[in-house]
Chains A and B, each alone.
Chain A
Amino acid sequence: MQISTHELKSKIIESLKLQDITPEQIDDDAPLFGTGLGLDSIDALELVVLLEKDYGIVIKDIEEGRPAFRSVQTLADFIAAKRPQ
């Protein structure tokens, strides 16, 4: 089942304590790391915790999550595909 990217953006903002930014300002396809939101490897680990806590998806190797962490859209697709039913 597809999940709302708006909801996902709110969760990302909250869990990463992003400052001065609203879900509306994050483009679904913009890169999360490097240039885009400027996140780093520690933020990726926080996203791993978020995936487990809110969606029950366990990632044991950060390489496994790397393609999913490209953008909000890829993350939403990853969650939809991996989420336990």
Chain B
Amino acid sequence: MAARSPVITGLGIVSAAGFGTAEVWRTVAAGASGLKPLTLFQSPRYGQIPVGEIQRDLIALGVPTRSSRSDKLGWLAAREAIADAKINFQNCGDRAGILLGTSVGGSYDSELFLATLIKRGKMRARPTRFHECSTTVDLIAESFGLFGPGMAIATACSSSALAIAQAAEMILSGETDVMLAGGADSLSRMTWGGFHSLLLVDATGCRPFDVARGGMSLGEGAAILVLESEESARRRGAKILARLSGWGMSCDAYHATAPHPQGAGATMAMQSALRRAGLEPSAIDYVNAHGTGTRDNDVAETIALKTVFHNRVPPFSSTKRIFGHALAASGAMEAVVCVEALRHQELPPNPGFTKCDPAIGLEPVVELRHAPLTHVMSNSFGFGGNNGVLIFSKAETTPQTRVPKKIQVVVGGIGVIGPGAVTIKEIGAPLPPGKGPVHSCGVLKDAAMLTPNQRRRLSRLQQMALITARKSLEFSGAGVSPASCGNFAGELTGKMPVPLRIAVAIGTGLGCLEDAGAFIENLVAKDEREPMPARFPNSVHNSPAGQVAIDQSARGMNSAPTVGEITFECALWQGISQLANDEADCALAGAADETDKYLLSIGQRWGAWDDKIMPGEGAVVASLLPAGKIASPLARVTVVKLGRYRKPFDAAREAEWIAAAVDLSKVEVFMSGAKGFRQLEPMYESVAAALSERAGKKLAHQTYKQLCGEFHAASAFGFSLAVKLAHEKNCGVLLYTLSQRGAKALCLVQP
């Protein structure tokens, strides 16, 4: 399968250490640091602490102005990568996509909205238009004409490593030929105040692996790789810069912020990446470490390195003092460093290190030096114990990368919380800080099944995810969960390992709005005094998935896709991909979203809500298993396909896209996201008609938003209805979902 093995044909990077691969490599090679005092926003308490801030005028570089700061950084990296690869997406049809890691998203811009509201009492909602983490994907896809799958992953500091890994899975499975893969994150008051509240910032700039290290340095930036199948690269005569030969994803399932003290999850991810690449540990010539410079990370990571490499740890270094820790973008930025290291056959240095820490007992590379490099590894670890590891190899090597199998997937159980639609009468005027939301769907009926620590510490969104995940596993035999209020009784057949290897993909469109809102409100109102350290870890989009992992000891891939209305389908795709790649025995796929006072009042300002279109919230998690592993599954999931629609919207073209993936003779019900936002209504109706015409029979058109309200995770409810119909009425259901920003997804559920 060498033809489908992923290769890298283009690189783009913007950072505090320079713009463009050439400039960045010069900074890296010199071991120079891009850290400087903060100028982007006022920080009364921490303003003098060095940070990896980009201080160039982005607008002057030609970026689209209707965008967030993260969007602008991502767009610049994409433009460079595309030019570097000399690729024209017009020749790619629907077979070129984009997968980015983003964690902060448009937070920097949305904070301006909160600051204006709190300090001046004025509601200016415009800066929140690009709040969502997925807007960077949408902007780049639209700007450069990508119509294949588009997805954003928000797993904090490992986001872009996961994005690159999953883009590779899409190429390897044959779903796409070309993917832009990487990440983008800007600085924001939230992450700045947040990491300070956790006392994790080194006031003198980070010193990874040094005995006197005192924490991390924050940074920002973006990096994007053009990843394509080898046959695609050869066909168009592209220069292959390097190969992506292995990747591994795992979860510590240990703590919301702290790494596992012995680096257990990091070890698993590195070993998984080596297995995937078909390489022995001794084949790795260099490791670009996560190396944040915090006391805990650097110790845990080096323990993991010693375990994986049997105490013969290859040369390693952290480049965090060069860039600052650019959170979701860091994995992609370090991927660029790894590819350049391979091309130059040079080991990048680790500025900030002067003296060995006896607790570590290893020294990183201190100065740039020549070394023969064939295979190099890059580590990225994030909040929620989320780990992503990538292995890059010289272009001239022969890939041994393991390929996924084609498998049948069934739904074992499903947990649903909701519907919790808010009626228009319950939405008040814009609310000043301090007042609670007026909506009434905030009480969780099943919260009693959670532990006191889960109840006091976790946000409502995380609690919803925990409860639905537990319910989804309550089919007899998989009894990982301590709770017992499910309604599904099946039996496990065949041989299943104990314990089950569980992967988790729980997406969210907007994340923990209440905790993120409260954290920023407090930061702005009190000028960074009295922060809320317990709220900050909840603000990352992968906190529900991470908490589910802890609750279920789920140490497989842990992902949080965030892609507007198709968030759930992306989670479904990720879960199935883990099963097909034999990295999990069971995958929990779901989506969750909550409303808060700002979402309600901004929506009201924009006229989004009326008597028929009500904001909603809730969570759905389904447990997925390979067919044949349980005796009486609820339903089969036979097709999941992601993409982007063209504008103007063409229903006949959509029907053709669906018919290419789905046998329409097996479909009785067309389940759509209509009855929500008005602009999507005629699009759904026209596709329903075009599809009936194509199928030569009248498909029943069913909708779900009248039941659960309008919110990003709502298609998960559509899925739960589809499973119910397939199970009880024995009919095939096609779930078809459009996002307002151009993404689309289909999913076929069969008895």
Q: Do A and B bind each other?
A: yes
Docked complex: B523-566 residues within 8 A CB-CB of A: 529-534, 537
Contact B199 A42 (CB under 8 A): no
Judged by a CB distance under 8 angstroms, whether B197 is at the interface is yes
Judged by a CB distance under 8 angstroms, whether A16 is at the interface is yes
- Among residues of A, the one whose C-beta sits closest to the C-beta of B530 is A53
Instruction: A59 to B258: give the CA distance in the assembly, Å.
Output: 19
- Among residues of B, the one whose C-beta sits closest to the C-beta of A59 is B199
Kindly list chain A residues whose C-beta atoms are within 8 Å of the C-beta of B453: 38
Judged by a CB distance under 8 angstroms, whether B452 is at the interface is yes
Kindly list chain A residues whose C-beta atoms are within 8 Å of the C-beta of B534: 16, 42-43, 45-46
Q: 3 tightest A-B contacts by CB?
A: A45-B533, A19-B452, A17-B456
Interface size class of A (residues with CB under 8 A): 20 to 34
**A/B interface sample: 23 pairs, CB < 8 A:** A16-B534, A17-B456, A17-B457, A18-B452, A41-B258, A42-B198, A42-B256, A42-B533, A42-B534, A42-B537, A46-B533, A46-B534, A48-B533, A49-B197, A49-B530, A49-B531, A52-B529, A52-B530, A53-B530, A60-B203, A61-B199, A61-B214, A62-B199
Judged by a CB distance under 8 angstroms, whether B257 is at the interface is yes
Contact B199 A45 (CB under 8 A): yes
Instruction: A53 to B534: give the CA distance in the assembly, Å.
Output: 16
Kindly list chain B residues whose C-beta atoms are within 8 Å of the C-beta of A20: 452
Instruction: A18 to B453: give the CA distance in the assembly, Å.
Output: 8
Judged by a CB distance under 8 angstroms, whether A40 is at the interface is yes
Judged by a CB distance under 8 angstroms, whether B612 is at the interface is no
Q: Mark A15-48, 1 if CB is under 8 A from B, else 0.
A: 0111110000000000000000010111101101
Kindly list chain A residues whose C-beta atoms are within 8 Å of the C-beta of B533: 42, 45-46, 48-49
Judged by a CB distance under 8 angstroms, whether B255 is at the interface is yes
Judged by a CB distance under 8 angstroms, whether B455 is at the interface is yes
Kindly list chain B residues whose C-beta atoms are within 8 Å of the C-beta of A18: 452, 456
Total contacts A-B at CB 8 Å: 47
Instruction: A41 to B261: give the CA distance in the assembly, Å.
Output: 13
Q: Shortest beta-carbon distance, B700 to chain A, in Å?
A: 48
Kindly list chain B residues whose C-beta atoms are within 8 Å of the C-beta of A60: 199, 203
Interface size class of B (residues with CB under 8 A): 20 to 34
Q: Given A52-B530, A60-B199, list of 16 further CB < 8 A pairs?
A: A16-B534, A18-B452, A18-B456, A19-B455, A20-B452, A42-B533, A42-B534, A45-B198, A45-B199, A46-B533, A48-B533, A49-B197, A49-B532, A49-B533, A52-B529, A62-B199
- Among residues of B, the one whose C-beta sits closest to the C-beta of A48 is B199
- Among residues of B, the one whose C-beta sits closest to the C-beta of A16 is B456
Docked complex: B190-218 residues within 8 A CB-CB of A: 197-199, 203, 214
- Among residues of B, the one whose C-beta sits closest to the C-beta of A50 is B530
Q: Shortest beta-carbon distance, B390 to chain A, in Å?
A: 29
- Among residues of B, the one whose C-beta sits closest to the C-beta of A60 is B199
Kindly list chain B residues whose C-beta atoms are within 8 Å of the C-beta of A46: 533-534
Q: Mark B709-745, 1 if CB is under 8 A from A, else 0.
A: 0000000000000000000000000000000000000
Kindly list chain A residues whose C-beta atoms are within 8 Å of the C-beta of B199: 45, 48, 59-62
Contact A42 B257 (CB under 8 A): yes
- Among residues of A, the one whose C-beta sits closest to the C-beta of B526 is A53
Residues of B within 8 A of A (CB): 197-199, 203, 214, 255-258, 452-453, 455-457, 529-534, 537
Contact B214 A42 (CB under 8 A): no
Contact B530 A42 (CB under 8 A): no
Instruction: A68 to B533: give the CA distance in the assembly, Å.
Output: 19
- Among residues of B, the one whose C-beta sits closest to the C-beta of A54 is B530
Instruction: A20 to B457: give the CA distance in the assembly, Å.
Output: 14
Instruction: A20 to B257: give the CA distance in the assembly, Å.
Output: 25
Contact B457 A42 (CB under 8 A): yes
Kindly list chain A residues whose C-beta atoms are within 8 Å of the C-beta of B256: 42
Instruction: A20 to B453: give the CA distance in the assembly, Å.
Output: 11
Known: A17-B456, A19-B456. A45 touches B197 (CB 8 A): yes
Kindly list chain A residues whose C-beta atoms are within 8 Å of the C-beta of B531: 49
- Among residues of B, the one whose C-beta sits closest to the C-beta of A15 is B534
Instruction: A75 to B534: give the CA distance in the assembly, Å.
Output: 20
Instruction: A41 to B383: give the CA distance in the assembly, Å.
Output: 14
Docked complex: A44-74 residues within 8 A CB-CB of B: 45-46, 48-49, 52-53, 59-62
- Among residues of A, the one whose C-beta sits closest to the C-beta of B452 is A19
Kindly list chain A residues whose C-beta atoms are within 8 Å of the C-beta of B455: 19
Instruction: A16 to B199: give the CA distance in the assembly, Å.
Output: 18
Kindly list chain B residues whose C-beta atoms are within 8 Å of the C-beta of A16: 456, 534
Q: Which of A38, A40, A45 contacts B255 (CB 8 A)?
A: A40
Kindly list chain B residues whose C-beta atoms are within 8 Å of the C-beta of A43: 534
Instruction: A38 to B537: give the CA distance in the assembly, Å.
Output: 19
Instruction: A43 to B258: give the CA distance in the assembly, Å.
Output: 13
Kindly list chain B residues whose C-beta atoms are within 8 Å of the C-beta of A45: 197-199, 533-534
Instruction: A23 to B186: give the CA distance in the assembly, Å.
Output: 44
Known: A16-B456, A60-B199. A41 touches B530 (CB 8 A): no
- Among residues of A, the one whose C-beta sits closest to the C-beta of B296 is A41
Q: Shortest beta-carbon distance, A30 to chain B, in Å?
A: 17
Kindly list chain B residues whose C-beta atoms are within 8 Å of the C-beta of A62: 199
Kindly list chain A residues whose C-beta atoms are within 8 Å of the C-beta of B258: 41
Q: Shortest beta-carbon distance, A55 to chain B, in Å?
A: 13
Instruction: A40 to B453: give the CA distance in the assembly, Å.
Output: 10
Kindly list chain A residues whose C-beta atoms are within 8 Å of the C-beta of B456: 16-19
Q: Shortest beta-carbon distance, A4 to chain B, in Å?
A: 22
Kindly list chain A residues whose C-beta atoms are within 8 Å of the C-beta of B257: 41-42
Kindly list chain B residues whose C-beta atoms are within 8 Å of the C-beta of A59: 199
Instruction: A48 to B199: give the CA distance in the assembly, Å.
Output: 10
- Among residues of A, the one whose C-beta sits closest to the C-beta of B533 is A45
Q: Shortest beta-carbon distance, B217 to chain A, in Å?
A: 16
Q: Shortest beta-carbon distance, A24 to chain B, in Å?
A: 18
Q: Shortest beta-carbon distance, A66 to chain B, in Å?
A: 12
Kindly list chain B residues whose C-beta atoms are within 8 Å of the C-beta of A61: 199, 214
Instruction: A17 to B532: give the CA distance in the assembly, Å.
Output: 13
Q: Shortest beta-carbon distance, A11 to chain B, in Å?
A: 13
Q: Shortest beta-carbon distance, A56 to chain B, in Å?
A: 11
Kindly list chain B residues whose C-beta atoms are within 8 Å of the C-beta of A52: 529-530
Instruction: A20 to B203: give the CA distance in the assembly, Å.
Output: 39
Looking at B256, B258, B529, B534, which has the most chain A CB atoms within 10 Å of its CB? B534
- Among residues of B, the one whose C-beta sits closest to the C-beta of A17 is B456
Kindly list chain B residues whose C-beta atoms are within 8 Å of the C-beta of A53: 529-530
Q: Shortest beta-carbon distance, B449 to chain A, in Å?
A: 14
Kindly list chain A residues whose C-beta atoms are within 8 Å of the C-beta of B452: 18-20
Docked complex: A5-21 residues within 8 A CB-CB of B: 16-20
Instruction: A24 to B537: give the CA distance in the assembly, Å.
Output: 31
Instruction: A34 to B537: give the CA distance in the assembly, Å.
Output: 20
Instruction: A60 to B532: give the CA distance in the assembly, Å.
Output: 15
Instruction: A60 to B49: give the CA distance in the assembly, Å.
Output: 13
Q: Shortest beta-carbon distance, A64 to chain B, in Å?
A: 10
Looking at A17, A38, A45, A46, which has the most chain B CB atoms within 10 Å of its CB? A45
Q: Shortest beta-carbon distance, A32 to chain B, in Å?
A: 14
Instruction: A74 to B408: give the CA distance in the assembly, Å.
Output: 59
Kindly list chain B residues whose C-beta atoms are within 8 Å of the C-beta of A42: 198, 256-257, 457, 533-534, 537
Kindly list chain B residues whose C-beta atoms are within 8 Å of the C-beta of A48: 199, 533
Kindly list chain A residues whose C-beta atoms are within 8 Å of the C-beta of B255: 40-41
Instruction: A43 to B199: give the CA distance in the assembly, Å.
Output: 13
Q: Shortest beta-carbon distance, B326 to chain A, in Å?
A: 23
- Among residues of B, the one whose C-beta sits closest to the C-beta of A38 is B453
Q: Shortest beta-carbon distance, B640 to chain A, in Å?
A: 36
Kindly list chain B residues whose C-beta atoms are within 8 Å of the C-beta of A17: 456-457
- Among residues of A, the one whose C-beta sits closest to the C-beta of B196 is A60
Instruction: A17 to B203: give the CA distance in the assembly, Å.
Output: 31
